Structure 1
Amino acid sequence: MKPKVLITRRIPEPIIDKIREVADVFIWEKEDIPIPRDLLETKIVEVEGLFCLLTESIDAQLLEKAKNLKVISNMAVGYNNIDIETATKKGILVTNTPDVLTETTADLTFALLMATARRLVEASDFLRAGQWQTWSPNLLTGQDIFGATIGIIGMGRIGEAVARRTKGFNMKLLYNNRNRKLEVEQELGATYVPFEELLRESDFILVMTPYTTETKNLITAEHFKLMKKNAILINTARGGIVNESDLYEALVKGEIWAAGLDVFEQEPISTDHPLLTLPNVVTLPHIGSASIATRMKMADLAADNLVQAIRGEMPLNLVNKQ
């Protein structure tokens, strides 16, 4: 008898076929609705493999019900939706999908930076609403990107990829990271600076660090007061790193100029969230890796991780190596 696997969202059929070679598969078929918690709790009891997304909370309560579970394959780079400590204690392998989405997410990050700086969404809405009557010297003026100073918080793979894109815009590149990246400094002319200096000196502040207990509420009211009045904050990492209430107040008070956000503390964000009322905030529905090719690569890698574990092999992208 084949082991059983739960896939929590519809993925491309060739990827499912790869998993079917080693397991009997149950799939939550609805594309845009997460699997209901009660169904997840029912199915987790009987499966040996779980293929899941960031939308699923794989917490201690759920894992205690997982009597047969051997592997959790998360179709994402991040894995803060999974209780790693509990999974490790229960001997459950946890895997992720690094590397394959690096360049795509870096593209989106820079696109969001440009859209926010040049007020592209606001300008499009202005035109579509029939408000464009004439050319005006001050109409929808934004911030220059070429030659500006950019500060990257978190110089991991995606941070480095974004840093490479700044060179085409002749930007002064500052960064802050747990450890200095001498190779990045040599290759790209990046300058390592303390956290608060980065906030004071940067025209664009990019949040690229992972979400951990140490980075939760990394940027709060006191930090916005350090930033330039024309500063633009971009977050494509995780919601919760930036305190959203404090960000709203900073934008309303004019402590910073604008923000571009692809991630939020609660996802999906409520349509009545105060940040959505501000014209100087560009918001996206967590689409950092959303290119056709990259999402296919992510699904394929997640399937490979799961299949390897089901076969008793050590998966390539193991998170909890301990």
Structure 2
Amino acid sequence: MKKVLVARPTFPDVIERLKQYFDVDANLGDVLSQDEFARRLADRDGAFTAGEWVGEKELAGAPNLKVVANMAVGYNNFDMHAFDAHKVLGTNTPNVLNETTADFGWALMMAAARRVTESEHYLRAGKWQKWSFDSFLGTDVYGSTLGVIGMGRIGQALARRAAGFGMRVMYHNRSRVAPEIETELNAEYASKEDLLKRADHVVLVVPYSKESHHTIGAAELALMKPSATLTNIARGGIVDDAALIVALREKRIAAAGIDVFEGEPNFNRDFLALNNVVLTPHIASATESTRRAMANLAADNLIAGLGEGPRAGNPPNPINPDVLKK
């Protein structure tokens, strides 16, 4: 049987599916160190990952490796140049988390706008002694302007939700979406600078790359309204976290909702001293049904990519499909 590594704990029934086809080394404990991950990958034909870095060193040390299936949409943990050089297929899990992630982006945005976290902490600390007309005055969502940076599938799902809140929608993307999608979403294309100046609520859903690193930094934050909010459900590194902390501390923007961080699970602890930020630990796709769908799709990719199952040789979500032709 071909050998596969499941690098992080996942649903037991998904591991049992993989065992129908493969000799499975399943990590059921803590996240593996990079050295331990590379050691256990060395004799494997395939791997099921969820954020482990897979680059030249790891691939060179695993000569039998043919497929690495990432349980995520993003794959900035893969060095795709190295994948191509070693003729290893990478796969991801798009689409199955679009609506769940958009829901969570909306929840973060509203929590930031309406100061939900700050006011809950106030209540829990026993500070609520009376009603006041000016307690925790927030920012309206209904009738405001939503700015979406990254109008892919999740961005479009966010924009569809805006219709129910009577919002104007602006978006910025590497290229404009099809005219019929703009019409459906009632969305206006804008430069990043124009969007930042005009939007009341900015939501980031762009994939991470060298080009998108610090898409939002000090200069971009300076363009935003003092009453605006920023929500990041994309990837850590899209926002310059240190610059955001300064902007929040100095009230240059009203609030932020952040689900992803630079260097996570480590993050800049200065966020913890701020009242005007909602912080969550990378859970935008965290519903049981969605995480199950992601895990099963990653398994589908791994099974098919290694030439097994009903889709043998034709995995659903290849990132670098050209290697299949070589």
SS at match of 2:224: coil
Q: In structure 2, what is the equivalent of residue 315 of structure 1?
A: 315
Write the deviation string for residues 32-78 of structure 1: whole angstroms up to 9, x where unpaired.
Answer: x2112232121111000100002x11122212111110000000000
User: Would the aligned equivalents of 1:22 and 1:310 in 2 still touch at CA under 8 Å?
Assistant: no
TM-score in terms of structure 2 length: 0.95
Shift of 1:276: 2.0
Q: In structure 1, what is the equivalent of residue 208 of structure 2?
A: 211
SS at match of 1:5: strand
Paired residue type of 2:114: R
SS at match of 1:211: coil
User: Would the aligned equivalents of 1:96 and 1:302 in 2 still touch at CA under 8 Å?
Assistant: yes
Paired residue type of 2:173: N
- When structure 1 is superposed on structure 2, of 305-314 and 163-172 the one drifting more is 305-314
Q: List structure 1 runs of 4+ shifted beyond 6 angstroms.
A: none
Q: In structure 2, what is the equivalent of residue 43 of structure 1?
A: 40
Q: 1:61 aligns with which of 57, 61, 75?
A: 57
SS at match of 1:179: coil
Q: In structure 1, what is the equivalent of residue 164 of structure 2?
A: 168
Q: How far apart, CA to CA, are the structure 2 residues paired with 1:300 and 1:282?
A: 31
Shift of 1:183: 2.2
Q: How far apart, CA to CA, are the structure 2 residues paired with 1:245 and 1:36?
A: 27
Q: In structure 2, what is the equivalent of residue 24 of structure 1?
A: 23
Q: In structure 2, what is the equivalent of residue 266 of structure 1?
A: 263
Q: In structure 1, what is the equivalent of residue 251 of structure 2?
A: 254
User: Would the aligned equivalents of 2:15 and 2:26 in 1 still touch at CA under 8 Å?
Assistant: no
Q: 1:1-322 maps to which residues of 2 (within 5 A)? A: 2-30=1-29, 33-54=30-51, 56-181=52-177, 182-270=179-267, 273-311=269-307, 313-322=313-322
SS at match of 1:106: helix
Shift of 1:184: 2.3
Write the deviation string for residues 152-201 of structure 1: whole angstroms up to 9, x where unpaired.
Answer: 00100000000000111000100011111222211021111111000000
Q: How far apart, CA to CA, are the structure 1 residues paired with 2:180 and 2:71?
A: 29
- When structure 1 is superposed on structure 2, of 36-45 and 168-177 the one drifting more is 36-45
- When structure 1 is superposed on structure 2, of 67-76 and 57-66 the one drifting more is 57-66
User: Would the aligned equivalents of 1:106 and 1:162 in 2 still touch at CA under 8 Å?
Assistant: yes
- When structure 1 is superposed on structure 2, of 68-77 and 220-229 the one drifting more is 220-229
User: Would the aligned equivalents of 2:117 and 2:278 in 1 still touch at CA under 8 Å?
Assistant: yes
Q: How far apart, CA to CA, are the structure 2 residues paired with 1:13 and 1:224?
A: 44
Q: Which runs of 5+ in 1 are unaligned?
A: none
SS at match of 2:141: coil
TM-score in terms of structure 1 length: 0.96
SS at match of 1:209: coil
User: Would the aligned equivalents of 2:4 and 2:23 in 1 still touch at CA under 8 Å?
Assistant: yes
Identity among equivalent positions (%) equals 44
Shift of 1:265: 0.8
SS at match of 2:314: coil
SS at match of 2:292: helix
Q: Which runs of 5+ in 2 are unaligned?
A: none
Q: How far apart, CA to CA, are the structure 1 residues paired with 2:175 and 2:282?
A: 27
**Cα RMSD for the two superposed structures:** 1.1
